[in-house]
Amino acid sequence: MDVPPISLSFIADFTNAQGTARAALVRTQYRQHMQQEDRFWAFYYRELFDAVEAVVARQGDLQPLKEAVRVAPEKKQRSYAAAAEGLAALLTKLRPTAITRASTALWTDVTTGVQVRVRPHFVTTSSKGDHEAWFLNCKEDAFAPSAANVVLYLMQAHGPEEARAADPRLLNVRAAQSLRLRANVNREQIKQSLAAEAQTYRALWLANSNGDGLQD
């Protein structure tokens, strides 16, 4: 069985995970793919992302974030409220003057054939005319530096054209934390780490497809 492309968010979660949590992530990913549910989580924060665009369009008025939390289904209330608080702090600090959704590019590991859909959530423009590509981690756990570097590197080196022309920024939303790729970061080391993650991911995926990784 071919390994289907994975999202930028998933490769970050996979890099961030430790031990058996990595196998559990792939097991869930495999099950969702087989049940054609693998697009569900892409839409979980859709209303909040819509609200981010509205805040920028309204020149920093945070009311759309409050409204997104107010009308969210009960099962989303806690996660939406926590993410909205962080987004309010980040938008107040960063103050973009324009924002658009980003398109998608595809990165392929030449050894394993594993592919990652590299899609930042937004491309923003500051009052000075600077452009940034934003990836929003709205989950409870902030990304560790290794996972953050993978996301930032993929956006910068293999993202869509508008992202490669911008400065990549990762937002750990609930912590109201903004991360950028350091100028002196070892990009070769990131590339090697990414190749190793692709190899591990492929092995775990194939174990599931062979029936060896499905037991709980």
User: For residue range 15-64, what is the model confidence (pLDDT) as tens digits?
Assistant: 999 889 999 999 998 988 888 754 544 578 999 999 999 999 999 999 99
d(CA 174, CA 51): 16
- The pLDDT assigned to 214 comes to 46
Q: Identify the residue with better confidence: 38 or 134.
A: 134
Alpha helices, DSSP H only, in the chain? 8-16, 20-34, 46-57, 63-71, 77-94, 145-158, 161-164, 187-209
pTM for this one?
0.92
d(CA 6, CA 107): 10
Residue written as token pair 């490769």:
11
* CB contact set of 195 (below 8 Å; sequence gap of 6+): 109, 111, 112
Whether the per-residue pLDDT at 5 is higher than 90: the answer is yes
- The pLDDT assigned to 215 comes to 44
Q: What is the DSSP letter of 144?
A: P
123: left (phi over 0), alpha (psi -120 to 50) or beta: beta
Instruction: For residue 167, give Cα distances in angstroms to 152, 201, 216.
Output: 9, 28, 41
Summarize pLDDT for 73-128 with one digit per residue, the tens.
999 999 999 999 999 999 999 999 999 999 999 999 999 999 999 999 999 999 99
- The pLDDT assigned to 42 comes to 54
